[in-house]
Amino acid sequence: MQENRIWSPEETLDREQFRDIQSKRLKEMVQRVYDSVPHYKKKFDTMGLSPADIQSVDDLSKLPFTTKLDFRDNYPYGLFAVPQKQVVRIHASSGTTGKPTVVGYTKNDMEMWKEMIARLVTMAGVTDEDVAQISFGYGLFTGAFGLHQGLEHVGATVIPMSSGNTRKQIMVMQDFGTTALISTPSYALHMAEIAKEMGIDPKKDLKLKWGLFGGEGSTEAMRREINEAWGLFATENYGMSELIGPGVSGECLALKGMHINEDHFFPEIIDPETGEVLPPGSVGELVITTLSKEALPIIRYRTSDITSLHYEKCDCGRTTVRMAKISGRSNDMLILGGVNVFPSQIEEVLFNVDGIGPHYQIKVYKKGHLDRIEVDVELVNADLLDSFSQIENLNQTIRQRLRTVLGIDAKVNIMQPRTLQRFEGKAKRVIDLREE
């Protein structure tokens, strides 16, 4: 492991200490939402639940879940627990349909957020020696502003680059001496491609050391590709607007899962079908309760993200629970001829085939009553296009692997290099035509 620094002593508490803090904060928080958020008061009253019924984290499962629908029904500020006067910042996540999800922060929330990010960037290797280029879009999205405050807090030199204008990103990296890149993993891959096109050899011409990637999933194969392309050490971090934005969890340099800031965000794993809480290590839907948020405290938020929780102490010395890579969103799962598959599993297969690049698109449609899938991939090297037999072989290899590894039969389309769409923020890999 490379340099290992720990930002805050709270990251190394023992399990009993965590439990005490979590239980104390949970009790206070439940009383607060009951007193100040009509939505929760109504829910509690309907269930015959009183705040006094919650004495410790063991009582958590008595509490109702909160879902994206609750945000929609209370749009824009209905779930806020403080008067607007105390809200100092608004962010929102762009809903794919309809209105965005609006979130707010008090001054204390902003301080807490900054601390959470300071923990995560420190565990990802960043120090006050680093020059951090933030290539997330600045605006209502929580990614850029969230990382920004925490990076400044640890003393890094922050370049608020925003996303897009990729050639300029590379120029800035080179001229300003960027050592840490902050973006989505898919944008990092795209930027690497442009750097190459510009005749830049990242390992020789740039000083990049760390990559902090989040906002969307990525596979281990994609991490290898990014590390290789940039010559940096990539870690991943996770969060969502409804909970705070980035800062819920992040990987340390041991790469053994993402450490959850569990003194502020209490995680559970549930069976997405039944809502039942599952034991440590089980794979299921992540549910998070915020323990200290003031403006927008949330009880048992169903994230839809599929992962598992691991409580053993990490090699880095942190004792905070770790969550495994997100394997998909419960509503992203494709069911193809009875076989359940997540797009991330298809990605893992594709990344391991030589000759095709890291960009792909999955199309799902109906043929009769059956779900069908097509996978578009790109060649790395255009020369291959001249050889029909080589293309055909490659096509068969990919089909075969998808069949043997995942049990799905996909039509594979091999395209010329640089034909598929590139993304500057979160990638959209799946086009589902079944609804139409």
Task: List residues near ligand DLL by CB under 6 A.
Answer: 93, 136, 142-143, 214-217, 236-241, 245-246, 303, 305, 326, 329
Tokens 């050592």, residue located: 179
> Which of residues 244 and 373 has its CB atom nearest to ligand DLL in the complex?
244
Q: With respect to ligand DLL, which residue has the nearer C-beta, 46 or 96?
A: 96
* Least distance (Å) between residue 207 CB and ligand DLL: 23
- Residue whose token pair is 């999205």: 141
| Shortest Å distance, C-beta 136 to ligand DLL | 6
| Cα gap 233→223, rounded to integer Å | 9
State the first-to-last Cα distance of the chain, in angstroms, to the nearest integer. Answer: 50
* CB closer to ligand DLL out of 264 and 372: 264
Q: Please name the residue that has the structure tokens 């990539």.
A: 234
Cα–Cα distance for residue pair 226/233, rounded to 1 Å: 9
Q: What angle do CA 41, 42, 47 make, to 5 degrees?
A: 100
Residue nearer to ligand DLL on the CB measure, 164 or 407: 164
Q: Which is nearer to ligand DLL, 29 or 326 (CB)?
A: 326
Q: Which is nearer to ligand DLL, 27 or 148 (CB)?
A: 148
Which amino acid belongs to residue 205? D
Q: Choose among 55, 181, 177, 197: nearest CA to 125.
A: 181
Residues found in the chain:
436
Token representation of residue 411:
């039509």
116 phi, psi to nearest 5 deg: -60, -40
Q: How far is the CB of 286 from ligand DLL (least distance, A)?
A: 8
Closest CB 304 distance from ligand DLL, rounded Å: 6
* Shortest CB 171 distance to ligand DLL, Å: 24
Residue nearest to ligand DLL (CB): 214
Backbone angles phi, psi at 93, to 5 degrees: -105, 140
Q: How far is the CB of 221 from ligand DLL (least distance, A)?
A: 15
